[in-house]
Structure 1
């Protein structure tokens, strides 16, 4: 599969180059020359490609929907949580070995947290890493070129922040405001001042 995908893609790329349907910019401008382009493609044949593909059950839309849920989904959805009693958490799971039947299970809170945290990525890790014009090192410059080619105005194209991001920002701001101003480690707990007792004597 990987070799076939490699040959088909590179053959299609060369066909596009032969028909002058590829565009190059700046330091890649020399690739318009067929000999330079062939020299550029040679290392791509030597690389070991990893490809895995099979037809989806419900078409490409279901694949995009699944990936979208996977990327933005947390370890467990709220609807799967049944109850919390003392230190016991009960939730729903699917028994894959028994016809994908929904069942319930109860775990100690510490065991539940242990399993939950196994789905939390380490710091600076991401579920999806982009490449090409969306790679982090060149995304800013590449998107400007792409938008210009598509006739999209570069100005005022910054997307509005997601609700989740706004929520996280507000939590972080509140958390930083509650830090101890001296050690910057301890957390200040707000507590209302007690109402002062009245010193006036009660009327007889």
Structure 2
């Protein structure tokens, strides 16, 4: 089932009836989905020298809320991160907000998601530099993830972290003491809760707001959830995270079409049992859930800290040298495959790029379906 077809059929009505809830980011994302790989974005004219056939390949929108785009970038990101992997144990940590705070997080997502990154980064730095744990400068990558498999709002931060740190003098590497865990999760959860509370209060003081007082008091006394587990060499965890870097809350194969009542059938996998089941959502509910995961413009979903930050390249190379590790070569950019001629099967040659406002001014044989990404 085509996501763009759902938007073409239902978005205008949904947007009109939910205008008070939608932002410019939602409308830009919807326009991107509707125009992706269509004549509206223009494209490229390719020519076959053998049989003189001309074809038009539509451009992609490359919006992170479009489920057709991002596949090439996802593979490229995963390959680049795997090239940085060290020959040590890796750990995956997940920091989750309690239910009572999620509505607040969505209402203030433009700055609150940044608060989540700051809180997790600061506490991991503190724990890593403690002599009881690593006793040095760590490195880690954090990825914001906002959805469940049913497309519900569930903001959390995934962190992948090698179990090593560089000593303060830069001459030694300190390794994680535990094989199955990196830091005590209960202590991490308490620290995460405290950091979030402190940062909200700091924002109130700076901007003269009263956000902290609007949050139910029991949020700051209940137990929060932090998960931490060993993930071996880290390559599988990186590929798992890569799915969230350039994608949104649903993939096209999971859209199974409409039922007889006009509801959208969505295939979902149970995280506990691994079994798949089909849920049914009204078009309005489906679009509402999709909108929950359209991020504010400019928000960076993936962030690197410590030894993995761009500013720490020399120290990262120092760690590799101490470990006697030769890093993998940086992967070359993935080459976009040239379209094949539908008549003879040979590669076609790019002869012209057509901007959107010139589409239709030349005579070409146009592929009526949505073309491959460019």
TM range (shorter): 0.3 to 0.5
TM-score, normalisation: structure 2 = 0.27
More strand by share: 2
Higher Cα radius of gyration: 1
More helix by share: 1
Q: Which fold has the larger relative contact order, with Cα–Cα distance below 8 Å and residues 6 or more apart in sequence?
A: 2
